[in-house]
Structure 1
């Protein structure tokens, strides 16, 4: 169903939020995920984006919009704001390349620079442009207030060496290396500030000036910058927050996902027939393997023709075990999609409750139901990369400890140090500290 007004999906447990958000967002270029808790909004963005990738092969760009508080400094919040505005203005987003934004009532209503002021405070460099690096560096220093450093490692810094300019836009997530051949921009390469190694190539970079506290440029709420056809999805009665009143009055496409049947006056209600997948575990065997087999048999009987059935595991080992269990059932008509994915919990949605790909219904099982895992922690979307080592890395002297040494984790207790190992995270290789706990349980902490 196309969201053309203020709608509320009722009777929707939290595990069904990503499916509902996916179903309703597929025709929108920009989708805002609104929650009173930023972590909840980021988790919904991450899980909805996973469904979009799995079911339609589309990768969304995910951004977080923050507001300054005791945890987020003013500069960090301004960097987030300018980064989201840049994505809206220059990202060329479409339903096939959507922008997902996680935010809170405070951040979506915070003041932002007008489009006219933004134009004055932007510098766009494109591949093939003819420029003077020294003129650009002068503008960055004088007009934008960027700091000239020997190495470009933090937002708002630049480094000039011969025919190469490194600049870290405050609206970006990593610095960019501008390489010239003569006076022509030959390449634009984002790079990791920790290693100074390039990671791919881009066609253009937008560089924003920082906020000017003496200016009146921040003169309109952020939500006024959203494209007309944007969709704002709110959870846990967030639209009842008084701060959200301007959204209700000014934005045409709002969708509330509510666990109860209560709906505010003026909202069109739609009941979603669904239930948490963990309800299928009632009466199952206490033996985890046997319970999983019984669960899969029950799911096979529930899954009708054209109904989407997803079995997900957090790790490769989990997915391989699921594949083996499904194969052992020897049920020719049971053909679920088995894949790696992190979801808070599974859900069963009846046919006809949603539209599009999920119109015939959905069965989603996760690590929580299949392996008895605890609920996953709230997600945190990628932020800016810097050369500052993570606190865990600064706290340990790796010259003094070796593989097998005992350590004490602040919340998990005694463990053994198992070295520093590389793992892939969001398409790039990063170093992690590997810790081993009782029963061979492994925990990997990012070093950077």
Structure 2
């Protein structure tokens, strides 16, 4: 029976070096450092920590590019994660920033205010110091709507008009609402989709999100939030939304900023703080350099596009490497983007060669090995010589 991603996390967490670090985190003995962890393994390690700690986690990436790659890989190991993008600032006068990014930020910050955000929030160092609504304002500025006799239509319309929403014939942008008989359409500032509310007397009979272009419903809701104000407030900072009991994990902390990366500095993070780096961080740990919890590159050949399909010699080398791992009783998994890729792979590699090898569907740009757990995670992208260039993430 093939293993799943949760079982791989359990294998890693059961090793002595990871258990030791998890005990240190549970005891609040910060800062905790995980060193010699290659970039492709860092999402896996964060997911392992999240699996064994109940607190919310902020994963702080050094760049937007690193954030996008990290979040994409993290989805294989932990589905309860959110992406907090950096704010966009107009580079040219009279050109507005992307409203989708602004809405995504407001939506996630609102969820954090209401303590119903995802377990893991992924953002960047730069985003922490960007302006945001003052902590506490989003909670009080939200109007909670739910099905049932909880709000009359005149009350809702009065609240929208008082908050500066524009009444239009048909909603086309955020900050607008439209009325047709007993139906009210609203596009809230933080919403990904506009909301259609159907009243029957003083009772809300239906709540649905709808497509802006086709005006057709796409999802039924039991409740929703409408942001009445605070959308333009910039008197706070994103870092204000990190609760004092959160685990803040900094990925690849800058060496010149090492002093500010400790619990003695409130500027970087709350007291709970974890560092993950590919290299050794001086002045963080007094103990000798430790490789026991290292995540390393897997020892497989370099494959160009077409090599794996066409070059029988290279394919044979890979099969021999699989056999070696199997003889060493390693747990080996290969991640493929689609089920179709898995079926194609089974056609070109014999069943004997794939015995005890887990073929998993997921998005993983590169693999890694964790020697302490005898765990090998590979990506089909590496085998196929396919390393797609990711554009900036969009909703």
> Please, what TM-score do these two structures have when normalized by structure 1?
0.69
Q: Output the CA distance in 2 between the equivalents of 1:180 and 1:361.
A: 60
1:281 counterpart = 2:306: no
Q: Give the conservation status (yes or no) of the 8 Å contact 2:134–2:237.
A: no
- In structure 1, what is the equivalent of residue 217 of structure 2? 198
SS of residue in 1 equivalent to 2:296: strand
SS of residue in 2 equivalent to 1:199: strand
Change (3 A) 1:195 1:283: closer
Give the superposition deviation at 1:160. Answer: 1.7
2:318 to 287, 291, 295: 295
1:183 counterpart = 2:183: no
Q: Give the conservation status (yes or no) of the 8 Å contact 1:179–1:188.
A: yes
SS of residue in 2 equivalent to 1:377: coil
- In structure 2, what is the equivalent of residue 123 of structure 1? 143
Give the superposition deviation at 1:264. Answer: 4.3
Q: Give the RMSD, CA atoms, in angstroms.
A: 3.4
Change (3 A) 1:287 1:250: closer
Q: Output the CA distance in 2 between the equivalents of 1:104 and 1:249.
A: 12
Q: Output the CA distance in 2 between the equivalents of 1:257 and 1:74.
A: 32
1:223 counterpart = 2:236: no
Give the superposition deviation at 1:75. Answer: 5.9
Change (3 A) 1:37 1:369: same
Give the superposition deviation at 1:260. Answer: 1.4
SS of residue in 1 equivalent to 2:44: helix
1:166 counterpart = 2:185: yes
- In structure 2, what is the equivalent of residue 396 of structure 1? none
Q: Give the conservation status (yes or no) of the 8 Å contact 1:34–1:238.
A: no
Q: Output the CA distance in 2 between the equivalents of 1:151 and 1:131.
A: 23
Change (3 A) 1:24 1:117: same
Give the superposition deviation at 1:210. Answer: 4.6
Give the superposition deviation at 1:283. Answer: 11
Change (3 A) 1:235 1:191: same
Change (3 A) 1:371 1:135: same
Q: Output the CA distance in 2 between the equivalents of 1:155 and 1:283.
A: 47
- Any idea what the Cα deviations from partners look like across 1:76-103, whole Å, max 9, x if unmatched? 665343212112133635xxxx343332
Change (3 A) 1:150 1:250: same
2:77 to 36, 51, 65: 51
Give the superposition deviation at 1:242. Answer: 9.1
Q: Give the conservation status (yes or no) of the 8 Å contact 1:314–1:341.
A: yes
Alignment of structure 1 residues 11-90 onto 2, 5 Å: 11-26=36-51, 27-28=53-54, 30-52=56-78, 59-70=79-90, 73=97, 78-90=102-114
- In structure 1, what is the equivalent of residue 18 of structure 2? none
> Please, what TM-score do these two structures have when normalized by structure 2?
0.77
Q: Output the CA distance in 2 between the equivalents of 1:218 and 1:32.
A: 21
Q: Output the CA distance in 1 between the equivalents of 2:99 and 2:259.
A: 23
List gaps (5 residues or longer) in structure 2: 1-20
Q: Output the CA distance in 2 between the equivalents of 1:198 and 1:297.
A: 54
- Any idea what the Cα deviations from partners look like across 1:279-302, whole Å, max 9, x if unmatched? 311699x95233245324423432
Larger RCO of the pair (alpha carbons < 8 Å, separation 6+): 2
Q: Give the conservation status (yes or no) of the 8 Å contact 2:303–2:383.
A: no
Q: Output the CA distance in 2 between the equivalents of 1:248 and 1:8.
A: 19
Q: Output the CA distance in 1 between the equivalents of 2:307 and 2:102.
A: 52
Give aligned pairs, total: 356
Q: Output the CA distance in 1 between the equivalents of 2:213 and 2:260.
A: 40
Q: Output the CA distance in 1 between the equivalents of 2:255 and 2:217.
A: 43
Give the superposition deviation at 1:170. Answer: 1.3
Q: Output the CA distance in 2 between the equivalents of 1:198 and 1:305.
A: 55
SS of residue in 2 equivalent to 1:200: strand
List gaps (5 residues or longer) in structure 1: 53-58, 352-359, 384-448
242-251 vs 181-190, which deviates more? 242-251
Give the superposition deviation at 1:266. Answer: 6.3
- In structure 2, what is the equivalent of residue 415 of structure 1? none
Q: Give the conservation status (yes or no) of the 8 Å contact 1:11–1:258.
A: yes
Q: Give the conservation status (yes or no) of the 8 Å contact 1:166–1:175.
A: yes
- In structure 1, what is the equivalent of residue 249 of structure 2? 233
Change (3 A) 1:30 1:130: same
- Any idea what the Cα deviations from partners look like across 1:332-359, whole Å, max 9, x if unmatched? 8x323323322221111112xxxxxxxx
